[in-house]
Amino acid sequence: MKELAIEARDLVKTYPGNVRALDELSFAVAGGTIFGLLGPNGAGKSTTVKVLNTLTRPDSGVARVGGLDVIRQPDAVRHAIGSVAQRSGVDVNASGRENLTLQGRFHGLGGAELKTRVASLLDRFLLTPAADREARTYSGGMQRKLDVAMGLIHRPRVLFLDEPTTGLDPEARSDLWKEITRLAHDDGITVLLTTHYLEEADRLAHRLAIVDRGRVVAEGTPDALKGELSGDAVQIELSETPGDSAVAALLSSVRTVHDVTVTGSTVRARADHGGSAVPAMITALEAGGARVSSVRVTRPSLDDVYLRHTGRTFNEADQA
């Protein structure tokens, strides 16, 4: 077990109006790894990052970054971390080089050391050809790379990336994924990544915590979390339904089917050998008055993990 780079224990944070953003949230992150906080909008991910970044104080609980207490040693924590917020911190009226230079000066860098560091980061993120152009002329992907480079200017031990790929096109998102992977693999930096993209968490995170309503409902490697779900995921769309409880009762007669949930005309279930179970499921449903319009069978996904632990799909939670 690597030394812990981040530790959150029983964090509670309540906003005015009795909005409980964090509800005894706990997790731990090993050094040199990418840890994902996966959850829908409003789950408490950004509030967690603000607590760990010393930007807000928890009502109760303990938080440490790099072994430093975020409440008792906030200045030391700020020197040890880099942070890339959801909203870009780039000054679009300045060039990429100027943005990096100013950020370096904030951290006490200067002279030849700062020039060398700026040039190195521009080169690393393939921004050298555009280094002296105003950042307003950069694409969204280029601006986001500049954001990450600014967060790395002082060589932090821990980097926080809060929804770093929101709004990026698929190609720019893929490019940034490669850079995030390099940070942990090549540089040994601990990365805490918040995201509401299931694929992003699955692809990048060595370990992740699924957050819902301010609590961690599941934690582990993506493969281990999906491996806890036996069988295949079956999703059935109905054109006619006799009602949620009736649909669930009809499928209870199919022995290999379990974890049935019904939302409107959509039926989700887990089934041992899903492909073989589908004919029996369709027969049971149509015998009870339901009409099946489509069926999909897939291997377990993080959406299935979320559904199992919260009783709703990720998309439903995000829209809510």
Residue 277 resides in a domain: yes
Residue 93 resides in a domain: yes
Residue 209 and residue 250 in one domain: no
The pLDDT, as a whole number, for residue 1 is 46
Q: How many CB atoms lie within 10 A of CB 13?
A: 22
Residue 195 resides in a domain: yes
Structurally, how many domains does the chain consist of?
Answer: 2
Q: Which long-range contacts (CB under 8 A, 24 or more apart) does 253-257 make?
A: 253/284, 254/280, 254/281, 254/284, 256/231, 256/280, 257/281
Residue ending a domain, choose from 221, 244, 279: 221
Residue 152 and residue 270 in one domain: no
Structure tokens at 84: 């890339």
Residue 46 and residue 142 in one domain: yes
* Burial degree of 112 (CB within 10 A; 0-12, 13-18, 19+): exposed
Beta-strand ranges (E) seen in the chain are: 4-15, 19-30, 34-38, 60-65, 68-69, 81-84, 158-162, 190-195, 207-212, 215-220, 232-240, 257-263, 266-271, 291-298
* Rounded Cα distance, 181 and 188, in Å: 10
Residue 40 and residue 88 in one domain: yes
Residue 48 and residue 130 in one domain: yes
Residue 239 and residue 157 in one domain: no
Note down the domain range covering 89: 4-221
The pLDDT, as a whole number, for residue 314 is 81
* Rounded Cα distance, 260 and 246, in Å: 12
Q: What CATH number did the domain enclosing 283 receive?
A: 3.30.70.2470
Residue 22 resides in a domain: yes
pLDDT in tens, the chain (320 residues): 458 999 999 999 999 999 999 999 999 999 999 999 998 888 999 999 999 999 999 999 999 999 999 999 999 999 999 999 988 999 999 999 999 999 999 999 999 999 999 999 999 999 999 999 999 999 999 999 999 999 999 999 999 999 999 889 999 999 999 999 999 999 999 999 999 888 999 999 999 999 999 999 999 999 999 888 878 889 999 998 888 888 989 999 898 898 898 988 999 998 988 888 999 999 999 999 999 999 999 888 888 888 888 888 888 887 76
Residue 204 and residue 238 in one domain: no
Residue 39 and residue 142 in one domain: yes
* Rounded Cα distance, 205 and 37, in Å: 9
pTM of the model: 0.83
The pLDDT, as a whole number, for residue 8 is 97
Residue 315 resides in a domain: no
Residue 310 resides in a domain: no
Residue 132 and residue 16 in one domain: yes
Question: Helix axis angle, 170-185 relative to 140-152, nearest 10°?
Answer: 20
Residue 12 and residue 94 in one domain: yes
Residue 273 and residue 194 in one domain: no
